[in-house]
Amino acid sequence: MRALVDASSIYEAARMERTHLLEGLYSVEIARYEIGNILWKHTSLLGDFSPSEAEEMMQVFTRAFAVMSLFQISGHEREVLGLGCELKIPYYDASYIYFADRQGLSLITEDAQLAKKGREIGLDCFPATGL
């Protein structure tokens, strides 16, 4: 399968204990920051995880990212911004759609709005359960 996975689906794959299915798939470097922010929020603000649990989870994500190919936004900033403005979506969401479209990849996301925008430009979009 040739697909780009956003942070929401990377998180979902880990939750379902299916990170092995991410091997050989693609994402955007910004996903690392989004995952870190999710873990921070669930630890510091919501109290769902202890700091040690969050650190263990980060190790799972670190291993998942190690077997994925991550696109760098550097050199594509203007195009990503233009796409975000055109589709009226945040820059980080636009980065997933931009690279999926540019590389001819399906988009795996749990975000219904992101999937809708992706479909509007002709992307195949589905959730992590479709892995």
pLDDT tens for each residue of 47-74: 999 999 999 999 999 999 999 999 999 9
pTM for the model stands at: 0.93
Give the DSSP letter of residue 110.
S
Q: Which residue has the tokens 């900033």?
A: 77
In contact, 22 and 70? CB cutoff 8 Å: no
The domain spans of the chain are 3-126
CA–CA distance, 97 with 118 (Å, rounded to integer)? 6
The CATH-assigned architecture of domain 3-126 is 3-Layer(aba) Sandwich (3.40)
- Per-residue pLDDT of the chain in tens (131 residues, 90 and over written 9): 799 999 999 999 988 888 889 999 999 999 999 999 999 999 999 999 999 999 999 999 999 999 999 999 999 999 999 999 999 999 999 999 999 999 999 999 999 999 999 999 999 999 998 77
Query: 34-42 contacts: CB < 8 A, separation 24 or more?
Result: 34/6, 34/7, 34/92, 35/7, 35/10, 35/11, 35/61, 38/7, 38/11
CA atoms within 13 A on the CB side of 128: 20
| Alpha helices, DSSP H, located in 67-110 | 77-87, 91-103
Supply the pLDDT for residue 75: 97
